Amino acid sequence: MESKSITAWQMFLLVFSYTLGTAIFLRPGELIFTTKQDAWLVPLWCGLAGTVLAIFWLLLARKFHGQSIVQICLTVLGKKAGTLFGLLYAWYFIHLSSWVVRNLGDFMSATIMPRTPITAFHLLFLLVCTYAVIQGIRTIGRVSEFLTPLIFLTFSLVWITRGGDWNFERFLPVFELNLWKSIIENRQMLAFPFMETSAFLMIFPLVHDGKYVKPFLKGVVLSSLTLSLVTFLTIGILGVVRASHLTYPLFTIAKEIDFGNFIQHVEATTTMFWIFAIFVKLTVSFYCATLALCQLFHIQQRGVVAFPLIWLIAGIALSDHANVVEMMDWDHKYDFAYQLLYSLFIPLLLIAVSWVRRNHVRHGSEESV
């Protein structure tokens, strides 16, 4: 089991990189397709709703200080029901890992290495993640501490070099957004990536001195602002029509960086750094899945759980969706309802049951007096 901890700074970087992860590749094009030139506003209200949910999770974590969401289920619901709900969360983290690794494989196959079998990407990255998971949360925190500045620097260089293609006319006409219609059409943006940060309910007990509240909130807020900025810049550089028909508009922006015949194919280098953000998200979700099963079945060695999970996650990643289009269609139709179960309904159930039990005990003690 895990005995080491991460710092508040490492927690912040993990939340920031985790929330961006695959969202920074997949979301801008989809948002621009549905909301046109006002798409950059959607991550702002989704980030606000995500922050409200984050405060709710923090209240739950404070109420059961030092316990992960799996341990909270066992404490509140008892051994049988608690194990059942704990397994639901373990499945959720496994399923989340399979989504991330499939997104990564699809991206690599579609852009950089189209002739390489997608399974090779899955197994390669899962093996590296397994090593990080076995080493522990402190290693994962240090990796994020090293990689996140590189990710930020790479994004900055891309936007600076493409600044000459900027055109404010691509935002005209402005503020034609129908807020309610936008909320309905883009509710999946709240689910992915903001509801997925509920995975950090597994990591809160591992933050040094319990200082996870501010880092967690700051990470969610900053990632929503970053997603808004990336979408804003994508519209300004590519335009609404072009960006809305691209699966990976950010990759296209990097691909078109050209310094004459001196520097070309910059996208290969920049993509390597962007994959770091996806790697952090995959490692965190993989770690949560492994830790959840270890806590449920009292397993001391994480490797005993992590290595079999490689094959399970890789198998689910291959069978879950046939391609990116099918994955995005499922995301649009069902992901919000799916995420509600783990991010809202089960935490509400835990709070309600603990409140009822506390009042029942208090009422029984008053009657005995």
The reported pLDDT for the residue numbered 270 is 72
Domain contains 364: no
Coil vs helix vs strand at 66: coil
Q: Across all residues in the chain, what is the average pLDDT?
A: 87
Q: How many CB atoms lie within 10 A of CB 259?
A: 9
Cβ contact 158:253 at 8 Å: yes
Q: Is residue 282 part of a domain?
A: yes
DSSP alpha helix (H) spans, 64-136: 69-111, 118-135
Lowest mean pLDDT segment, chosen from 27-36, 105-114, 326-335, 353-362 = 353-362
Most confident of 29-43, 150-164, 267-281: 29-43
Domain span including residue 100: 8-356
Give domain status of residue 100, yes or no: yes
Tokens 């597994």, residue located: 202
User: Domain for residue 113, yes or no?
Assistant: yes
pLDDT of 212 above 90: yes
Tokens of 339: 């995420």
What's the N-to-C CA distance of the chain in angstroms? 43
Q: Is the pLDDT of residue 328 over 90?
A: no
d(CA 26, CA 249): 8
Whether 40 shows a pLDDT value over 70: the answer reads yes
Domains: count for the chain:
1
In a domain, 210, yes or no: yes
Whether residue 56 lies inside any domain: the answer is yes
Per-residue pLDDT at 215: 95
CATH assignment of the domain containing 198: 1.20.1740.10
Q: In the predicted model, is pLDDT for residue 363 greater than 80?
A: no
Residue % of the chain over a pLDDT of 70 = 93
SS3 label, residue 340: helix
324 pLDDT more than 70? yes
The pLDDT confidence band at residue 3, using thresholds 50, 70 and 90, is low
pLDDT band for position 196 (cuts 50, 70, 90): very high
The maximal CA–CA distance of the chain, rounded, in angstroms, is: 88
**Does residue 97 have a pLDDT over 60?**
yes
pTM tops 0.85: yes
**9-35 residue pLDDT tens:** 999 999 999 998 888 888 898 889 888
Average pLDDT of the residues in 79-94: 95
Residue 260: pLDDT band by 50, 70, 90 thresholds? low
DSSP secondary structure of 26-83:
HHHHHHHHHHGGGGGGHHHHHHHHHHHHHHHHHHHHHHTTT--HHHHHHHHHHHHHHH
pLDDT band at 129 (very low <50, low <70, confident <90, very high): very high
Q: What pLDDT is stored for residue 308 in this prediction?
A: 94
pLDDT at 365: 53
Give the pLDDT confidence score for residue 364 in this predicted structure. 58
| pLDDT at res. 366 | 52
Phi, psi at residue 6, to the nearest 5°? Answer: -115, 160
pLDDT of residue 90: 96
Mean pLDDT of 54-68: 93
Residue 368 lies in a domain: no
Does 284 fall in a domain? yes
**What pLDDT, on a 0 to 100 scale, did the predictor assign at position 229?**
92
